[in-house]
Structure 1
Amino acid sequence: MHPCALCCCSTADVSEEFLRSRDIRYVYFNYQLDGIPCKDDFGRTHTPRDLYARMLAGAEAKTSQVSVGEYMEFWRPLLEAGQDVLHVTLSSGISGTYNSACAARDQLAREFPDRRLIVVDSLCASAGYGLLMDRLADLRDGGMGIVELAAWAKSHRLEVQHWFFSSDLTFFIRGGRISKAAGLVGGLLRICPIMRVQPDGSLAVVEKVRTKHRAERRVVKIMHELAQGGSDYAHRVFISNSDCLADATAVSDLIEAEFPKMDGRVRHFDIGATIGCHTGPGTVALFFWGKPRQ
């Protein structure tokens, strides 16, 4: 057992098997589907295909963050076992969960005055958040202590580049990110909006590209421009998708051909329910280590 428990939320959008293999603990986010409470539990409650089919059929999907009480219940056994805890949260730019985690931390600090409980805002989302956790696990396994790990996360979190595109605008229109008029025109012209996570951790549309094929090429070109080492990039790459694995595979095939020095193959994951409730189906997200976001 590591003296430091490295923890995150299920919104890191990797798999349970992956998190367990890295000895990363996790707490589930929450969502409601037509008013029925569900856990964002890596697709056990609703597979991505089932979730998106229900959403497309008109089911109302709402998400909610981890509560103060849920954080306390999650961390208390770790602290009781004598472990210090470093918890990295989903970006404060898209969720209030960081504030809930800090409130829980402050309450538990009085209960466990001899233990360290550190909360860090990832400013990352989906498998970009997962990519940050993966690197932190490497550093912990290399002997880095909890204080140094937290400092490293804060110093390097903006180096995780997040680039998304979507071939289905339905839920971007419903969520107000794209207007109905723009969505109608975009659908007719086969527009794929390209989005990124900003330095403040929020998601923004930055380009609009015609056709999915061009969007696939565009995000790979962006990786050439921003990746650490450029075309000699030597770190890991994660890709997540919302029920469009073929589109994600088209991107990973390009990356594996054009970045021969990367660390292993591209890892594919599903976009989880929390993020997926907002994107709907048809979204591909590319994550890599790059220049700090500006």
Structure 2
Amino acid sequence: MANPARPALIINADDLGYSPGVNTAIADLYQAGLVTSTSLIVNLPHSEAGAAIARRLPGLSVGVHLNLSKGEPLLPAAQVPSLVDEAGRFWETAALYRHALTGQINWYEAAAEMEAQIEWALGRGLHVDNLDSHVHFHVLPAARRLITDLGQRYHVHAWRSPKVLSTLTPRMTWTDLLNRRDSDGPMVAPHYLLSLHQWGERLLEDQRLRSLLAKPGTVTELVAHPGYAPDPDLPLPDQLPPERRQAEVDMLSSSAFRGWLDDAGLALISFASLHYVAA
């Protein structure tokens, strides 16, 4: 168990199950001690392989990467018509948000699909430590409420904070506006959320950020989207092509990143131990 007074960092690799290149990169980074948790996407062709990796690496903390915007739902399309297009596939990111913000998503259908995704992971013998969402759709208040309800029902104690610590901070972002009246409810979340995709090399250089993360008792989640290039099986369209995912592998594996971890004095933890340090 981590020392509660020591600042801690969760390095979470999103998209386990996304493609062979992503699956292998996440496994390699975990075995190198550079990833502590992962989020499994369960409805894609390589999800079974991702689940097998998670079972093979029992120390890897696994969350469900709830997904309403890539591939086909687990439930029959006829049961979730507001979530899918005419081909029975999820709306892509922009359409999902547009439909959600204009009242075209039936959240009862969304809840049923998310429940099916959690059940899928549990049915593969995985212990689910946390919940988060593909393309961060849990910034939407309706989605947040459903996900915290599901967390309680399935005894999942942790989730990803919807509030991203941006390179533009301090500034009120649209996510703050959407969520300013909501609390995290019964689930615990890290104090801060950083995206390696957004920060890049600036993560290692920003002294204000380092001071913030080094506060005693602070827990931060660093979200990465690693993958090896080339990766011809990566689902398209994708906001992070193989070259971008490879760049994240390279950065996490670099001596500069290891040095940043050492200099910041951050204890590496996983979502499995989050309730010990952030409750």
TM-score bucket of the superposed structures, by smaller chain: 0.3 to 0.5
Name the one with the larger strand percent: 1
Output the TM-score relative to the length of structure 1: 0.33
Structure number with greater Rg is 1
